Structure 1
Amino acid sequence: MPWIILFLAGLLEVAWAVGLKFTDGFTKPLPTVLTLAAMAASVGLLGLALRTLPLGTAYAVWTGIGTVGTVIYGILVMNEPAGVLRLVCIAMIVAGIAGLKLLSPH
């Protein structure tokens, strides 16, 4: 269960990272409120997952999900470049996340 909670926290990190783009420097009320809510929920779920998961592993997986998810969103929705080297770097992040998960004692 803590891994599911951590995964949801990572998805919410993607949501708030994307949301930052739409707040226009926190000047747009609705995107700002939604972004701040996603931030709070993401950190809150991370905190719950940390009850049983190792800190370093959980934090790295959380940020990795956020990073990879945000880059994929940028590529698929915002037409950001998806060059071969960029995709290789994303694959390395995914491999690191998977490795940390597999090597975690929980």
Structure 2
Amino acid sequence: RNMSYLYLATAILFEICGTTCMKLSEGFTKTLPSILIFVFYGISFVSFTIALKKIDVSVAYAIWAGLGVALISLIGFVGFNEPMPIIRIMFLALIIIGVVGLHLSTSIH
């Protein structure tokens, strides 16, 4: 089961890389980031699929999507100078709290 969470973490990491490359590709006008979108998403989907062998799909997807949103927001703020008002920080914190709660709920059943 621990390996499944390692695969899930890998899926999240590569999904973040793929999404960042979407921004860097400038609408598929830059070749390398455009190619890397597909490479990174391919690795992400393979890793996510392997993770689903041992993790409930509802929990795995919530973790994948929730942490992806939170980390991409941080990358947008730090790397692309996107605004980060306090209300956005508060809602991102709620997403993280929800992800942690879902993870904790898997150990209950």
TM-score by length of 2: 0.91
Distance in 2 of aligned mates of 1:102 and 1:74: 28
* Aligned equivalent of 1:97: 99
Task: Measure how far apart 1:8 and its partner are.
Answer: 1.4
* Aligned equivalent of 1:59: 61
Q: CA RMSD in A?
A: 1.3
TM-score by length of 1: 0.93
Distance in 2 of aligned mates of 1:85 and 1:18: 23
Give unpaired runs (5+ residues) of structure 1: none
Secondary structure of the 1:52 match is coil
Secondary structure of the 1:48 match is helix
Distance in 1 of aligned mates of 2:86 and 2:35: 36
Distance in 1 of aligned mates of 2:63 and 2:103: 8
Percent identity for Structure 1 against Structure 2: 32
Q: Which amino acid aligns with 1:68?
A: A
Aligned residues: 106
Distance in 2 of aligned mates of 1:96 and 1:11: 19
* Aligned equivalent of 1:39: 41
Structure 1 stretches of 4+ with a deviation exceeding 4 A read: none
